[in-house]
Amino acid sequence: MPYSKSNSRKLVLWGKRPALIKSAPARAFEQAAAVSLPTLDPFILGPVSLSCRLFYTSERPDLDPSLVMDVLQGKIYKNDRQVRELHCYHGIDKVNPRAEVTVRSIDILSEV
C-alpha cells in the first residue's frame, strides 16, 4: 500500500537526540516496490513527468507521492529532483491498495 511519507514517520532517539525516521510500514512499502520495479540502464537523466494513481484502503491517508518518487530514484531516474511535472490521483481500493505509475522524459525547452 502506498504510504504518505509525511504521515509515516516514527520518533526515535539517535543517541541522546530525537530523530524522525520512516515507519516500518513505509519502509516495507519501499522494499516491496523496489523488488517489483525494473532498473533502467541507463536511467532517465533529464527532466521527467510523473503520473501516479495511488489507491489507498480508505479516505484517511493524504495524497502524497513522495515515497513513490523515492522508490523510483535509482531505478528509473537518477534523482527525484528530475520530476518537473506531477499528476497524482487519490483512489480507494480496499482489496488491492497500490501505486500505478507512469514516468516519461520531457523536453523543458520545447514546452516553454
In the predicted structure, residue 68 carries a pLDDT above the cut 90: yes
| Domain boundaries, given as residue ranges, for the chain | 9-111
- Which residue from 59, 48, 54, 64 is spatially nearest to 96, judged by alpha carbons? 54
Residue range 24-59, pLDDT digits in tens: 888 888 888 888 899 999 999 999 999 999 999 999
State the average pLDDT over residues 11-28.
78
Does this model's pTM top 0.85? My answer is: no
According to the model, what pLDDT value does residue 73 have? 93
Contact 99, 85 (CB under 8 A): no
- Fold designation for 9-111: 60s Ribosomal Protein L30; Chain: A; (3.30.1330)
**Cell digits of residue 3:** 504510504
Q: Helix or strand or coil: residue 2? A: coil
- Which residue from 47, 65, 48 is spatially nearest to 56, judged by alpha carbons? 65
Contact 97, 1 (CB under 8 A): yes
Residue range 79-107, pLDDT digits in tens: 999 999 999 999 999 999 999 999 999 98
